[in-house]
Amino acid sequence: MGACAGPGLDREIAAGVLGDRGPRVPAYSTENAAADLLLWRLAQAGVAFRVQWLDGRHFCVLWKASQRGAATGSAASRPLAICRAALELSRGSAAPVSHDYPLEAQQV
């Protein structure tokens, strides 16, 4: 099923993905503005992304040009889909990407 939205996941994203250990943590997993900040910070680190709505769910794909594979996340909410993909990317569990399917960075 994946990680659940809330303060625990937000702290895990801040510390494990972004390296932030401050006392205040944005609501990355529940607020679109905070999820956009997460995407911006990842993009600054060379991570490309695509977020889209398909069949009633949000899907997020994150990848680095310097690495083979992509991390994915899906959820009913856009922020949670982004957080799930970011966790997968940070844990190094990105799946191989087929070269037959071109990925393009895109915001939705």
CATH number of the domain encompassing residue 51: 3.30.2120.10
pLDDT surpassing 50 at residue 103: no
pLDDT digit string, tens, across residues 31-44: 999 999 999 999 99
Q: In whole angstroms, how far apart are CA 94 and each of 21, 31, 33, 34? A: 25, 25, 25, 23
What local confidence, expressed as pLDDT, does residue 49 receive?
Answer: 96
Stated pTM of the model: 0.83
What is the number of domains present in the chain? 1
**Structural domain range at position 73:** 7-90
Q: Give the pLDDT of residue 100.
A: 37
Whether pLDDT at 106 is above 70:
no
The reply to whether 34 falls in a domain is: yes
Neighbouring C-alpha atoms within 13 Å toward the C-beta of 77: 18
44-84 tens-digit pLDDT:
999 999 999 999 999 999 998 777 789 999 999 999 999 99
